[in-house]
Amino acid sequence: MLLRLLRRTAVFLASLFVSSIAVFTFMAVLPGDPARVTLGVNASDSAVQQLRDEFGLDRPLVSQYASWVHGLVTFRLGDSYVSNAAIGPQIADRFQVTLWLVVTGMVIAVLIAVPVGTVMAIRHRRLSGVLLSGLSQVGVAVPAFLAGILLITVFAVRLRWLPANGWTPPVVDPGMFLKQLVLPAFSLGIVQGAVLTRYVRSAVLDVLREDYLRTARAKGLRPGQALVRHGLRNAAIPVVTMLALQLATLLIGAVVVERVFVIPGLGSLLLDSVANRDLIMIQDVVMVLVVAVLLVNFLVDLLYIAIDPRLRAGAS
Amino acid sequence: MSTANVTASTSEHPPDRSAVLAVRDLSVAAGQRRLVEEVGFTIHAGERVGLIGESGSGKSLTALSLMGLLPGELTATGSARLGDHDLLSGDEAALSQVRGKDIAMVFQEPMTALNPTMRVGHQVAEALLIHRARTDRRSAHAGAVELLAQVGLPDPAVVAHAYPHQFSGGQRQRIMLAIALANDPALLICDEPTTALDVTVQAMILDLVVRGVEQRNSALLFITHDLAVVATVCERVLVMYGGRIVESGPVLEVFTRPRHPYTQGLIATSDLAVVDARGRLATIRGSVPPAGEFPAGCVFRNRCDHATQACADRPPWTELGDETGYACFHPVTHSRRGFDD
Amino acid sequence: MTVHSVELADTAVGPARRARGWNASLVVGGLIVGLLIVMALLSFVWTPHDPTLVNAAARLQQPSAEYWFGTDKFGRDVFSQIMVGSQTALFVGIVAVGVAALVGVPLGIVGGMGSRWVGETLMRFNDLLLAFPALLLAIMFAAVYGGSTLVAMVAIGIASIPNFARLVRSGTLQVMRTEYVLAARAAGRHPFGIGLRHVLPNVSGLVIVQMSVGFAIAVLAEAALSFLGFGTPPPTPTWGRMLQASQELLWEAPRLAVFPGVAIAVAVLGFNMLGDGLRDYLDPKLEDRR
């Protein structure tokens, strides 16, 4: 078990290292001259040189990389090329907003997917199962931003139940915060839920075929009891894997949904930075997103060890 | 009293008083396809009965239909009375009360029959809790530890806290046996419980099964394709082929004086001393047809050397004595020896 | 394998045989995809109107015989734009899926045939790539090079590599355990020959299914990219940009969002269903598992 933990940790750290190199190479090396990219072709050479000096862009790449990573680890990311505002606090602020969206979206997705997927599996030979299956197929085909636009059309424009866009932090006005959270969170949650539903279905179908479920029934458990007591924990393993893999999709889905609902999250920050050609900000935001995804995958690996006793046994 | 009612003479013999299980006209079908046909037999209290046959003969389906655990696409008809319960009634609520309490089963594959994410003790204790043999978790756990000790697992208290993957196949089968015996069932069904195990482990498991049912005065229905196992474990044997019972009787009688050519072939193939002129082991000609595609009439006739025109009709059940008989137009007369040329 | 399941396998032969052949997913998915291709090809030579023609006199028209899906705020014909938009969706899909398959399939085969170490390293690399979804890659590319069709195709293609590599690797591992491959290896065949002769044909079914599903993913990603303005630049109409433009007019003309939205959803649904149908067609045993 300790060995497994150490190996997972090593893989996690190596992934962080490799992805940071990749992001750095892409954003800081490939553009050739980030200062020129930032200021545009029409900027004067002296202005470009000034920016280079200010941000140490003439230093060797290794030293630039080292100070960037140092900044990331200590979360002192310096100031933006463009706005001169401190990057670290901005990212932290925006990340909170995105986290609300993503977590609520994921909770909605799970709340939809687990019951619906289970019913689909139990009734997969019956009409109700087939209909639900078709419905989830349609859900999978709708991107989150499209779901957002459609939800706005129905609930904000037609019914006028909820605001079409905007964001209020929960500490300022909890009521408004919730109202404004509903539509974007459902945009993410419904779509993600549809995808997840199909995985829950196939995981439960697999479990229903397992010998130990037959053993459970041979003991005198009814089919439903057997599934709940013996099946769902085992079905959870592939579903949790999927959930973790979906997190990347969900985070990036949030980027687009933030644009639809005019929410000042990490996605908006990223898109604004692209519009402003703020390369260093983009580099940092991308890295934060990547770290978040890798971290969650790492945590899920640890979660497996908790769910599945076979993995706790050390070397398999 | 008749054992396998191939002809429709069920009502002549009222069920025996000491009968634990009385099966009549049991058929299992997948849609139009009949996989088990009109099987009938009786098992008395404390009796150990073997059910033998090749794979595809319908042995396991017979057992699963008695447990009410047939896969969804299969349906069972007929009657199977266990005490006051009709096991084929399809009443899920009533059946789950019986299952694991009055009738229990040990499956063939111990590696997958236990829940990998639940402690072994908990899985045994669950069997006690479901049927209220114990009402609180603590005494259920104590009961589980005791059962684990009874099936010969060393350090049962430690075993109870372990997970299935920490055990070998033989140990897991012991755990399965502990679960099956937890509520002192009137009937224990074992479906090839030792087929997946090493030969050395087999004997120990068989011994545990026999001791387990003897101590509880439980009846045993033991499914296997291994005649030697039947000879060690059982008193009586049912021979199944093509979804039908083709012969039955006391083990000694059937194995020394088989009447049905199939039984005779089965015995010949299992005897490593019997070889033909070229020194090859005896085999039964041809192979078992896919389930549901056996010939009409006598199911064995396409592989039988004695088959004639008469075999196109279904052979009636010839009764030789109590629970003893066969279904064949050309029973083996015991002057001949050697089945396959 | 239990006797129980062997018997069931015997009984399952009939229904399994029946499942092989046309199924609803295959037919419906195939029809949708076929229609999409016809629409894209047709739009090269004919559209009801010039999709880029600005006509102030015909702003925000309701659907009519003249303008089947109505017009947008510049008076451009929505139906014609949808037709031309299918070109971009399909073009990006073809290139992206092609890139992903060309890189992912060999990687997966090598990962499955190579040593354990090679396979594990490849899988870790795969996991790493999964942390860079298409959209994130495209945003990085667009930040440096600006948005374009090429950026969309390359980003989606790279992000789709892990799907192919993972699938092909697990398929390869299965094939490598079969007796005919063991025999070929025992006979001293060169690994390259085994990969080409035994592995590739056996995983091709998986690859075809994944291509169809990958196409659906590509259409979704392309829509998101052009919605954000990182895809094909104007004036070429794309479904994503039509959606983006519809947003400010949701109160006046929600249909401007509905038509491209439905186009995206139907296209994705078509490719997903085709993938499901192909999977059932190629492997009836998996009927219940999709």
Cβ within 8 Å of B, A 101-130:
125
Name the nearest CA neighbour of B11 among B20, B26, B24.
Answer: B24
Q: Does B212 touch chain C (CB under 8 A)?
A: no
Q: Find the domain containing A288 and state its range.
A: 95-315
DSSP string, C201-245: HHHHHHHHHHHHHHHHHHHHHHHHHHHHT-SSPTTS--HHHHHHH
Note the pLDDT tens digit of each residue in B190-199.
999 888 888 8
Query: Is residue A15 one of the residues assigned to a domain?
Result: no
Structural domains counted in chain A: 1
Query: pLDDT class for C35, splitting at 50, 70, 90?
Result: very high
Cα–Cα distance, B240 to B252 (Å, whole number): 17
Sign of CA dihedral A200, A201, A202, A206: positive
**With pLDDT > 90 as the criterion, what percentage of chain A qualifies?**
14
Contacting residues of A for C132, CB less than 8 Å apart: 19, 22, 248, 290
Q: Comparing A66-75, A107-116, C70-79, which segment has the lowest mean pLDDT? A: C70-79
Q: What was the pLDDT predicted at A138?
A: 85
Query: Is residue A6 one of the residues assigned to a domain?
Result: no
Mind telling me how many Å the CA of B69 is from chain A's nearest CA?
7
Average pLDDT value over all residues in chain C: 79
3-class DSSP assignment, residue C230: coil
Query: Is residue A279 one of the residues assigned to a domain?
Result: yes
CA-nearest residue to B108 within chain C is C2
**Whether residue B4 has pLDDT greater than 50:** no
Contacting residues of B for C8, CB less than 8 Å apart: 71
Note the pLDDT tens digit of each residue in A5-28.
888 888 889 989 999 988 888 887
Nearest CB neighbour to A310, from listed B112, B116, B180: B116
Query: Is residue A65 one of the residues assigned to a domain?
Result: no
**Whether residue B48 has pLDDT greater than 90:** yes
Q: What does the pLDDT average to over B77-84?
A: 89
Q: Does A209 touch chain B (CB under 8 A)?
A: no
Query: Is residue A34 one of the residues assigned to a domain?
Result: no
Q: What was the pLDDT predicted at C21?
A: 54
Q: What is the CATH number of the domain that holds A249?
A: 1.10.3720.10
Q: What was the pLDDT predicted at C16?
A: 37
Structure tokens at C256: 């401007």
Number of helices and strands in chain A (H, E):
14, 0
Q: What was the pLDDT predicted at A189?
A: 92
Q: What was the pLDDT predicted at B246?
A: 92
Q: What does the pLDDT average to over C167-190?
A: 83
Note the pLDDT tens digit of each residue in B261-282.
999 888 888 776 666 667 777 7
Q: What was the pLDDT predicted at C69?
A: 72
Note the pLDDT tens digit of each residue in A156-191.
888 888 887 878 888 888 888 888 888 999 999 998
A vs B, Cβ pairs < 8 A, gives 76
**A123, A206, A215, best to mutate vs chain B, most B CBs in 10 Å:** A215
Mind telling me how many Å the CA of B184 is from chain A's nearest CA?
12
Structure tokens at A73: 């680890």
Mind telling me how many Å the CA of A249 is from chain C's nearest CA?
7
CA-nearest residue to B192 within chain C is C3
Q: What was the pLDDT predicted at C101?
A: 93
3-class DSSP assignment, residue B77: strand
Query: pLDDT class for C17, splitting at 50, 70, 90?
Result: very low
Q: Comparing A142-151, B67-76, C243-252, which segment has the lowest mean pLDDT? A: C243-252
Name the nearest CA neighbour of B223 among B63, B114, B109, B91.
Answer: B63
Q: Are B80 and B90 in contact (CB under 8 A)?
A: no
Q: Does B287 touch chain C (CB under 8 A)?
A: no
C10·B74 Cβ contact <8 A = no
Average pLDDT value over all residues in chain B: 85
Q: What was the pLDDT predicted at B305?
A: 84
**C212, C268, C271, C280, best to mutate vs chain A, most A CBs in 10 Å:** C268
**A207, A209, A219, best to mutate vs chain B, most B CBs in 10 Å:** A219
C2·B109 Cβ contact <8 A = yes
Could you tell me which chains touch chain C, where touching means 3 or more CB pairs under 8 A? A, B
Cα–Cα distance, B34 to B41 (Å, whole number): 19
C3-289 topology per CATH: MetI-like fold (1.10.3720)
Query: Is residue A252 one of the residues assigned to a domain?
Result: yes
**Whether residue C63 has pLDDT greater than 50:** yes
Q: Are C220 and C268 in contact (CB under 8 A)?
A: yes
**What's the whole-model pTM score?**
0.79
Contacting residues of B for A233, CB less than 8 Å apart: 117-118
Instruction: Provide ipTM, 2 decimals.
Output: 0.82
Highest mean pLDDT among B10-24, B240-254, C177-191: B240-254
Q: What was the pLDDT predicted at A304?
A: 78
Cα–Cα distance, C172 to C109 (Å, whole number): 6
Name the nearest CA neighbour of A36 among A48, A46, A28.
Answer: A48
**Whether residue C110 has pLDDT greater than 70:** yes
Query: Is residue A35 one of the residues assigned to a domain?
Result: no
Note the pLDDT tens digit of each residue in A217-230.
999 998 888 998 89
Q: Comparing A47-51, B104-108, B314-318, which segment has the lowest mean pLDDT? A: A47-51
Q: Does B107 touch chain C (CB under 8 A)?
A: yes
Q: What does the pLDDT average to over C248-268?
A: 83
**Whether residue A152 has pLDDT greater than 80:** yes
Cα–Cα distance, A141 to C261 (Å, whole number): 10
Query: pLDDT class for B250, splitting at 50, 70, 90?
Result: very high
Average pLDDT value over all residues in chain A: 84
Q: What was the pLDDT predicted at B272?
A: 66
Q: Are A52 and A35 in contact (CB under 8 A)?
A: yes
Query: Is residue A69 one of the residues assigned to a domain?
Result: no
